[in-house]
């Protein structure tokens, strides 16, 4: 029993797409920058401030380097939601001034992209094309390019879908768009650190979230990469002390930034082992599920190795979650909408029928954070609950 009266149970954690555990080593770094070196990176008159400023610069240089950008091209934010808002809403004034008010995106984006774009559509008269990917869950480069027009300001396409794990062709798209006046924004909340080679492509704007790679919640980044002398003409959506090139004013959360730095370094160092182990876990899970009747939602061949979305024939996903909640923590679709029973907007946009889209289950894992998971036990429960085939 903990102080709050919770009984600590070892529930296998298969929901890293919602958030990850902060490694105690990373937490120690955060604690250090809270309790020892606690200065404000903006304080110019003493050693505390100087030390914080230097540390932030080191973190900035490293993190920018992971996507092939320069330190001055990265600003710290509170996470991918804020980065998406700064990128999308921040481009709007330029679109209005230049008469380029067309935006292309996909219908499988996270709400943190869909909602700001709907705002631009409804409040500012932008025209937004929401592309549907079909059952593979992958939006094709050709489908995007087909919609491209002279007045297309921006393409916003996510890196890795948070419900299916399907990797979108952002690198290929970047190579083509770089030769046009259209800017590319990529919400890389789920892909950052995991498919690093894609993000070194010439993408103009990249949103990063810390808590999907073992950093604390509440920190992230926005990369604004230059095109030669040119860069995405962002205008601020918030005003204050002028920090972060005036695009994200506010006192820098040095402990969180240092936590992000440490977690990203760890992830980079251990990525090949992480990938191998995550792949092996996916094989074991799929092998165990072989005794049940299920379909995989999305193209596994183009997926990250640690996210799998399945629908079990005739089985209500919520009922299964309740049944296994003391053993396994999983999610239906996006965490932000999991309180409601509406079909997943991602699975619906893939053209899947309502019953399949409502009952999609997302398994997502870091092999080192799973604790006690027995895929055979899960498969046995599912098989027991599944209606017998007639």
Residues forming beta bridges with residue 50, ordered by sequence position: none
Whether 110 is catalytic is no
157 Cα distance to chain centroid: 12
Is residue 80 within the footprint of ligand PLP (CB under 6 A)?
A: yes
Closer residue to ligand PLP in complex, CB, 103/289: 103
Question: Based on the number of CB atoms within 10 Å of its own CB, is 4 exposed (0-12), middle (13-18) or buried (19 or more)?
Answer: exposed
Closer residue to ligand PLP in complex, CB, 20/182: 20
Of residues 174-213, which lie at the interface with ligand PLP (CB under 6 A)?
A: 187, 189-190, 209
Counting residues that bind ligand PLP (by CB under 6 A) gives 12
- The residue number whose beta carbon is nearest to ligand PLP equals 79
Catalytic residue among 230, 336, 341, 353: 336
Min. distance of Cβ 116 from ligand PLP in angstroms?
11
Min. distance of Cβ 162 from ligand PLP in angstroms?
3
Is residue 158 within the footprint of ligand PLP (CB under 6 A)?
A: yes
Closer residue to ligand PLP in complex, CB, 190/332: 190
Of residues 111-140, which lie at the interface with ligand PLP (CB under 6 A)?
A: 112
Is residue 224 within the footprint of ligand PLP (CB under 6 A)?
A: no
Three-state secondary structure readout of 172-236: HHHHHHCCCCCEEEEECCCCCCCCHHHHCCCCCEEEEEHHHCCCCCCCEEEEECEECCEECCCCC
Closer residue to ligand PLP in complex, CB, 164/292: 164
Min. distance of Cβ 187 from ligand PLP in angstroms?
5
Closer residue to ligand PLP in complex, CB, 20/81: 81
Give the residues lining the site for ligand PLP (CB under 6 A): 79-81, 110, 112, 158, 162, 187, 189-190, 209, 220
User: Catalytic amino acids?
Assistant: 336
């Amino acid at each position: 029993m903990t102080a709050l009266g919770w009984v600590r149970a070892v529930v296998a954690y298969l929901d890293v797409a919602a958030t990850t555990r902060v490694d105690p080593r990373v937490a120690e770094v955060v604690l250090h920058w809270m309790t020892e070196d606690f200065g404000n990176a903006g304080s110019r008159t003493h050693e505390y401030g100087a030390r914080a400023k230097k540390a932030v610069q080191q973190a900035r240089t490293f993190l920018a380097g992971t996507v092939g950008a320069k330190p001055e091209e990265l600003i710290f934010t509170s996470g991918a939601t804020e980065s998406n808002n700064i990128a999308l809403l921040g481009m709007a004034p330029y679109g209005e001034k230049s008469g380029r008010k067309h935006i292309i995106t996909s219908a499988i984006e996270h709400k943190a992209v869909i909602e700001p774009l709907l705002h631009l559509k409804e409040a500012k008269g932008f025209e937004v094309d929401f592309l549907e990917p079909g059952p593979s869950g992958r939006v094709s480069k050709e489908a995007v390019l087909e919609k491209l027009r002279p007045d297309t300001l921006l393409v916003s396409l996510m890196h890795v879908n948070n419900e299916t794990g399907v990797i979108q062709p952002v690198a290929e798209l970047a190579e083509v768009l770089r030769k046009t006046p259209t800017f590319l924004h990529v919400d890389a909340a789920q892909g950052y650190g995991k498919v690093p080679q894609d993000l070194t492509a010439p993408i103009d704007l990249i949103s990063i979230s810390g808590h999907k790679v073992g950093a604390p919640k509440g920190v992230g980044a926005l990369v604004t990469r230059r095109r030669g002398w040119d860069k995405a003409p962002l205008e601020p959506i918030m005003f204050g002390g002028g920090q972060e090139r005036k695009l994200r004013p506010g006192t820098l959360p040095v402990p969180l930034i240092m936590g992000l730095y440490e977690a990203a370094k760890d992830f980079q160092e251990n990525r090949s082992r992480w990938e191998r182990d995550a792949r092996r876990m996916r094989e074991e899970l799929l092998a165990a599920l072989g005794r049940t009747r299920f379909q995989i939602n999305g193209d596994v061949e183009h997926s990250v190795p640690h996210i799998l979305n399945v629908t079990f024939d005739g089985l209500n996903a919520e009922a299964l979650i309740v049944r296994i909640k003391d053993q396994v923590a999983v999610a239906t679709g996006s965490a932000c909408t999991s309180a409601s029973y509406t079909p997943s907007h991602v699975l619906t946009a893939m053209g899947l029928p309502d019953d399949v889209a409502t009952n999609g289950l997302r398994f997502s894992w870091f092999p080192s954070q799973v604790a006690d998971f027995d895929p055979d036990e899960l498969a046995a429960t599912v098989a027991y609950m599944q209606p017998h085939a007639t």
